[in-house]
Amino acid sequence: MCSAARTFPDGFLWGSATASYQIEGAYDEDGRTFSIWDTYSRTPGRVLNGDTGDVADDHYHRWSEDVGHIKNLGLHAYRFSLAWPRIQPGGSGAFNPRGIVFYSRLVDALLQSGVQPVATLYHWDLPQELEDAGGWANRDTALRFADFAAHVAGQLGDRISVWTTLNEPWCSAFLGYASGVHAPGRTDPAAALAAAHHLNLGHGLAGRAIRSVLGEQAQVSVTLNLHVTRPDDPDSAADRDVIRQLDAVGNRVFLGPMLDGAYPQDLLEDTASVTDWSFVKDGDEATIAVPLSVLGINYYSTSRARRHFGDSPREHADGHKESDVSPWVGADDIDFLTQPGPYTAMGWNIDPSGMTELLTDVGARYPDVPLMVTENGAAFYDRVSADGRVHDADRVSYLHRHIDAVGTAIDSGVDVRGYFLWSLLDNFEWAWGYDRRFGIIRVDFDTLERTWKDSAYWYAELIRANALPPVDRIPTHSAVGSTAG
């Protein structure tokens, strides 16, 4: 089928996303204190090449230029996150007016440019002091997060279109506290499940705090990286049970309490040898089930798994060592298998059908909850050509196929309200440092100069037309805006 003519519903929200630690830099300015990522990135061996977010894209000083790019791209909405240690140094007690001023100016500039601000309250930069007190494994962190949310809601008020409480709590809990490949780098499966619960609780408390400050009409959301995992052998009951298990500890651990008001029974059983879940107190699940205005979904790729039997050697799709701790708590006897390519520079397989499948599946499970793709995009090893441009045809192709896949889900009746491309700018890609580039705008990490890649021109054309352009339609600089490139 030729998808060149695919159009999107009127009012479909086209955006792009970033996160505070990945772009801001200015790690010690205007009263900001350390987050767990400042500590983690300074720990030898944790981040590729020893990179840190100390400077990152220097967005803290270049935000005005970046809003210019957002405007020239024609984005309807911009999803960014708020650095908790900037706004409330240490994570409790007094708030820092200089921290909020930064975001207040950014939000005003977006609004003046006709761009809706979509604010994420937590994109992984927990104040270090809260981690020292137990981090997300400690219930009090959820209460501190609600205080932070209430304060920010009071300060930014109705200028924010959508409030996203958490970004990808699966990563915070399981990569942060079980496998340790993200900050704070702990490898304690019981702590990871406690963290998952306290993140859920923090979401519920923060969502309720936002509505108590701004009123019931405030748009409250959360962003989940739901996993699309296929059974190695769809006819094998054992493999199908693996998929159920991964769906429980990867997806329903959040969807259950947030949207059904309860943890799934099979999750509690699968993890019974790790924890008795006594950290879930009476009323917590009801608190967590704060009504969602929209559910944010991040999608990048798929995986394939099967039951591991006996003494046969373990297989690991990502090549990690046998001794590494798995993030899949309670699901130890599972092999993840190599997916067919092609792959992005992250080693993630490119599979747009997973996008359609995920949106369709969640849409069927929760037909009353509107969905928004809050992240999708790809890292590739971009090259600057002799003409000074970045001809990132592989990224354009990835975006084309995935946005088309979103359209397929919409065609089948799923209520998808918008799409946010990850990412606006090349940035600090967590444990991969500056080595993996996801931006549609290139950042030269020596000069911090920004250059539109072909994918940025292509995306601007898509937004202008509200229709999917062919991959080779890369408009010229002058066609899209005076400060582009």
- For ligand FCB, the closer of residues 375 and 461 by Cβ is 375
For residues 164-203, which are near ligand FCB according to CB under 6 A? 167-168, 171
Indicate which single residue of 392, 429, 454, 461 sits in contact with ligand FCB (rule: CB under 6 A).
429
Distance CA(270)–CA(24), nearest Å, equals 40
In the bound complex, what is the minimum distance in angstroms from residue 466's beta carbon to ligand FCB? 25
Instruction: Say if strands 116-122 and 77-81 run parallel, antiparallel, or are unpaired.
Output: parallel
In the bound complex, what is the minimum distance in angstroms from residue 397's beta carbon to ligand FCB? 18
Active-site entry in 24, 131, 285, 375:
375
Residue 435 CB neighbours (<10 A): 14
Q: Mention every residue, 6+ apart, whose C-beta is less than 8 A from residue 5.
A: 467, 468
Residue 175 CB neighbours (<10 A): 20
Indicate which single residue of 163, 438, 458, 459 sits in contact with ligand FCB (rule: CB under 6 A).
438
- Give the pair of three-digit tokens for residue 284: 């917590």
Using rule CB under 6 A, residue 378 touches ligand FCB: no
Q: Mention every residue, 6+ apart, whose C-beta is less than 8 A from residue 127.
A: 33, 34, 35, 36, 84, 85, 88, 89, 90, 91, 92
Using rule CB under 6 A, residue 375 touches ligand FCB: yes
For residues 236-295, which are near ligand FCB according to CB under 6 A? none
Between 4 and 33, how does the x/- string for binding to ligand FCB read (CB under 6 A)? ---------------x--x-----------
**Catalytic residue flag (residue 375):** yes
Number of residues that bind ligand FCB (CB under 6 A): 12
Indicate which single residue of 60, 328, 398, 422 sits in contact with ligand FCB (rule: CB under 6 A).
422
- Give the pair of three-digit tokens for residue 372: 């928004």
Give the position of tokens 């704060």: 290
Distance CA(137)–CA(195), nearest Å, equals 4
Distance CA(364)–CA(393), nearest Å, equals 34
Q: Report CA-CA distances (Å) from 267 to 115, 202, 232, 325.
A: 41, 20, 21, 19
In the bound complex, what is the minimum distance in angstroms from residue 430's beta carbon to ligand FCB? 6
- For ligand FCB, the closer of residues 19 and 248 by Cβ is 19
In the bound complex, what is the minimum distance in angstroms from residue 438's beta carbon to ligand FCB? 5
Between vectors from CA 135 to CA 131 and to CA 139, what angle results, nearest 5°? 145
- For ligand FCB, the closer of residues 150 and 379 by Cβ is 379
Please provide residue 221's backbone torsions phi and psi, each rounded to the nearest 5 degrees. Answer: -145, 175
Indicate which single residue of 225, 229, 303, 356 sits in contact with ligand FCB (rule: CB under 6 A).
225
- For ligand FCB, the closer of residues 225 and 302 by Cβ is 225
- For ligand FCB, the closer of residues 83 and 474 by Cβ is 83
Chain contacts with ligand FCB (rule: CB under 6 A): 19, 22, 167-168, 171, 225, 298, 375, 422, 429-430, 438
Q: Which residues are catalytic?
A: 168, 375
